[in-house]
Amino acid sequence: MIKLTEKYIKIDTTKNTLLLEKYGDRVLQLYYGKKLHDSDNYGFFAVEERDKWFGSNDDHTNIPTVFSCNGECANKEAYVILSKEDGTFTSRFEFKGAEMAEGFSSPLPTARNKGETVRLCFTDLVTGATVYQYYTVFEDCACITVHSEVVNNSGEQLFVKRLMSCQLDFAAEKASVTTYDGTWDLERLRHDTELTAGRFEIDSKLGISSANHNPFFMVKTDNTVMGFNLVWSGNHKETVEISPYERMRILTGLNDYGFNYKLNAGETFVSPEAVFVAADTEGEVSREMHKFSLKHVVNPNFAYKPRPVLINNWEATYFDFTGDKIYEIAKKAKECGIEMMVLDDGWFGARNNDRAGLGDWYDNVEKTGGLKSLSDKIHELGLKFGLWVEPEMIQVDSDLYRAHPEYAMQIPGLTPIERRHQLCVDMCNPELRQYLTDTLIKLFKDLGVDYVKWDHNRAMSDVYSSCEAYQGNYFYDYYVNQYKMLKDITEAVPDVLFESCASGGSRYDLGMQYFMPQNWCSDNTNAFARLFIQEGTLAGYPVSSLGAHVPNHWERPGVSWESRFNVSAMGAFGYECDITSVDRKTISVIKKQVAYFKKHRNVFQYVEYYRLGESLCKSDLGGWSFVSEDKKEAIAVIIDKKVNNFWFKRPRFTFAGLNPDYLYKVEMRPQSNLPESKVFSFTAYGDALMNGKLDFDNLYWHETDGHDMGSVFASRMFYIKKIGR
* 515 vs 679: CA distance, rounded Å: 42
Q: Which residue is nearest to ligand DGJ (CB)?
A: 345
Among 82, 242, 393, 501, binds ligand DGJ (CB under 6 A): 501
* 297 vs 279: CA distance, rounded Å: 21
In the complex with ligand DGJ, the residue whose CB is nearer, 396 or 501, is 501
Size of the site for ligand DGJ (CB under 6 A): 11
Torsion-angle region of residue 102: left (phi > 0), alpha (psi -120 to 50) or beta? beta
In the complex with ligand DGJ, the residue whose CB is nearer, 98 or 516, is 516
Among 116, 187, 344, 426, binds ligand DGJ (CB under 6 A): 344
In the complex with ligand DGJ, the residue whose CB is nearer, 177 or 316, is 316
Taking the complex as a whole, how short is the minimal distance between the CB of residue 314 and ligand DGJ, in angstroms? 5
Residue 62 found at the interface with ligand DGJ (CB under 6 A): no
Among 152, 271, 299, 457, binds ligand DGJ (CB under 6 A): 457
Residue 474 found at the interface with ligand DGJ (CB under 6 A): no
- 674 and 704 in contact (C-beta within 8 Å)? yes
In the complex with ligand DGJ, the residue whose CB is nearer, 204 or 465, is 204
* 694 vs 684: CA distance, rounded Å: 11
Taking the complex as a whole, how short is the minimal distance between the CB of residue 502 and ligand DGJ, in angstroms? 7
Q: Is the four-CA dihedral 422, 426, 430, 431 of positive or negative sign?
A: negative
**Nearest alpha carbon to residue 112 among 305, 302, 307:** 302
Torsion-angle region of residue 518: left (phi > 0), alpha (psi -120 to 50) or beta? beta
Task: Determine whether 620 is exposed, middle or buried from the number of CB atoms within 10 Å of its CB (0-12, 13-18, 19+).
Answer: middle
* 470 vs 263: CA distance, rounded Å: 10
Segment contacting ligand DGJ by CB under 6 A, of 2-10, 110-118, 499-507, 562-570: 499-507
Taking the complex as a whole, how short is the minimal distance between the CB of residue 574 and ligand DGJ, in angstroms? 11
* 350 vs 606: CA distance, rounded Å: 40
Taking the complex as a whole, how short is the minimal distance between the CB of residue 418 and ligand DGJ, in angstroms? 15
Among 72, 273, 363, 455, binds ligand DGJ (CB under 6 A): 455
Catalytic site residue from 450, 455, 509, 705: 455
Q: How many of the other CB atoms lie within 10 Å of CB of 216? A: 28
Q: How many of the other CB atoms lie within 10 Å of CB of 706? A: 25
* 153 vs 266: CA distance, rounded Å: 5
Binding mask 187-206 for ligand DGJ (x = CB under 6 A): --------------------
Catalytic site residue from 344, 477, 523, 578: 523
Instruction: Please give the single-letter amino acid code of residue 670.
Output: P
Residue 388 found at the interface with ligand DGJ (CB under 6 A): yes
In the complex with ligand DGJ, the residue whose CB is nearer, 314 or 575, is 314
* 425 vs 401: CA distance, rounded Å: 10
Taking the complex as a whole, how short is the minimal distance between the CB of residue 512 and ligand DGJ, in angstroms? 14
Residue 503 found at the interface with ligand DGJ (CB under 6 A): yes
In the complex with ligand DGJ, the residue whose CB is nearer, 503 or 545, is 503
- Site residues for ligand DGJ, 504-543, by CB under 6 A, read 504, 520, 523
Mode of pairing for the β-strands spanning 130-138 and 117-124 = antiparallel
**β-sheet bridge partners, residue 145:** 136, 275
In the complex with ligand DGJ, the residue whose CB is nearer, 184 or 609, is 184
In the complex with ligand DGJ, the residue whose CB is nearer, 520 or 700, is 520
As a three-state string, the secondary structure of 380-448 is HCCCEEEEEECCCEECCCCHHHHHCHHHECCCCCCCCCCECCEEEECCCCHHHHHHHHHHHHHHHHHHC
The torsion defined by the Cα of 32, 34, 39 and 40, in degrees rounded to 10, comes to 0
- Please say if 523 is a catalytic residue: yes
Residue 345 found at the interface with ligand DGJ (CB under 6 A): yes
* 450 vs 613: CA distance, rounded Å: 38
Taking the complex as a whole, how short is the minimal distance between the CB of residue 344 and ligand DGJ, in angstroms? 5
Question: Residue 157 to residues 23, 110, 246, 268: CA-CA distances in angstroms?
Answer: 31, 27, 38, 12
Taking the complex as a whole, how short is the minimal distance between the CB of residue 523 and ligand DGJ, in angstroms? 5
Residue 359 found at the interface with ligand DGJ (CB under 6 A): no
In the complex with ligand DGJ, the residue whose CB is nearer, 249 or 458, is 458
Instruction: Please give the single-letter amino acid code of residue 288.
Output: E
Question: Residue 567 to residues 527, 530, 533, 624, 721: CA-CA distances in angstroms?
Answer: 6, 7, 11, 10, 21
Taking the complex as a whole, how short is the minimal distance between the CB of residue 129 and ligand DGJ, in angstroms? 42
Taking the complex as a whole, how short is the minimal distance between the CB of residue 321 and ligand DGJ, in angstroms? 12
Among 67, 302, 314, 327, binds ligand DGJ (CB under 6 A): 314
Segment contacting ligand DGJ by CB under 6 A, of 55-63, 97-105, 490-498, 501-509: 501-509
Taking the complex as a whole, how short is the minimal distance between the CB of residue 455 and ligand DGJ, in angstroms? 5
Instruction: Please give the single-letter amino acid code of residue 538.
Output: L
Q: Where are the beta strands (DSSP E) in 55-174?
A: 80-84, 93-101, 117-124, 130-138, 141-151, 158-171
In the complex with ligand DGJ, the residue whose CB is nearer, 169 or 187, is 187
Segment contacting ligand DGJ by CB under 6 A, of 86-94, 267-275, 467-475, 497-505: 497-505
Taking the complex as a whole, how short is the minimal distance between the CB of residue 420 and ligand DGJ, in angstroms? 8
- 614 and 623 in contact (C-beta within 8 Å)? no
Residue 498 found at the interface with ligand DGJ (CB under 6 A): no
In the complex with ligand DGJ, the residue whose CB is nearer, 503 or 566, is 503
- Site residues for ligand DGJ, 258-297, by CB under 6 A, read none
List, by residue number, the catalytic residues. Answer: 455, 523
Could you list the residues that contact ligand DGJ (CB under 6 A)?
314, 344-345, 388, 455, 457, 501, 503-504, 520, 523
